[in-house]
């Protein structure tokens, strides 16, 4: 087998591997399977509620099974002090629970982002008061740090595979032999 034939065979094999990889990536699409967006079914305490005693936790129920690892709930008081304690936990099949620590009257803001196991998500802000109603001005929106996410492992893996495929193509192009005998 001549050198040129080997190069073309290697290139064809690399292209076939890339096509197979892209076909597999298209088949393993992490996009949500449901057409309808996730919706909040209930939130306790409710938006605008005035409570005499502070709650132990905030619970959010959604239309779907929430993914505890990818969802988060943050609770702030009127001075933007974070009051949630511990990690978000499951509350039944369709809910999340975030414990809070509060021992005084306050206007609270709950910022949430719930991602379901099928990839749908819903986010929002709820406000309620513990103690006297209308005691303070509405709190400022939570900071962007409260809504941070980590690196998606599937996306990172595809990025590495794409980089390796590009490296293989560049090496194959650079290693093309010089044709010494043009005839």
Per-residue pLDDT of 129-179, as tens digits, reads 998 755 445 555 666 565 666 677 888 898 999 999 999 988 888 887 766
**pLDDT tens digits for range 87-129:** 888 888 889 999 999 888 899 999 999 998 888 888 899 999 9
| DSSP letters spanning 8-35 | HHHHHHHHHHHHHHHHHHHHT--S-S-S
Q: Which domains does the chain have, with CATH numbers?
A: 40-151 (2.60.40.1220)
- The model carries a pTM of 0.55
């Amino acid at each position: 087998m001549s050198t040129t034939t080997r190069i073309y065979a290697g290139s064809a094999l690399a292209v076939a591997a890339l096509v197979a990889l892209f076909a597999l990536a298209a088949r393993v699409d992490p996009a949500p399977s449901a057409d309808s967006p996730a919706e909040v079914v209930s939130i306790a305490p409710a938006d605008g509620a005035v409570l005499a005693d502070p709650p132990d936790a905030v619970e959010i129920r959604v239309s779907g099974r929430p993914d505890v690892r990818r969802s988060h709930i943050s609770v702030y008081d009127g001075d933007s002090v974070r009051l949630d304690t511990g990690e978000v936990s499951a509350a039944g099949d369709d809910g999340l629970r975030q414990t809070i620590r509060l021992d005084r009257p306050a206007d609270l803001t709950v910022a949430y982002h719930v991602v379901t196991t099928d990839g749908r998500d819903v986010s929002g802000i709820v406000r309620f008061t513990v103690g006297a109603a209308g005691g303070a001005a509405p709190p400022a929106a939570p900071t962007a740090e409260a809504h941070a996410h980590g690196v998606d492992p599937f996306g990172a893996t595809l990025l590495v595979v794409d980089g390796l495929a590009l490296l293989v193509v560049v090496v194959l192009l650079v290693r093309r032999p010089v044709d010494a005998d043009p005839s």
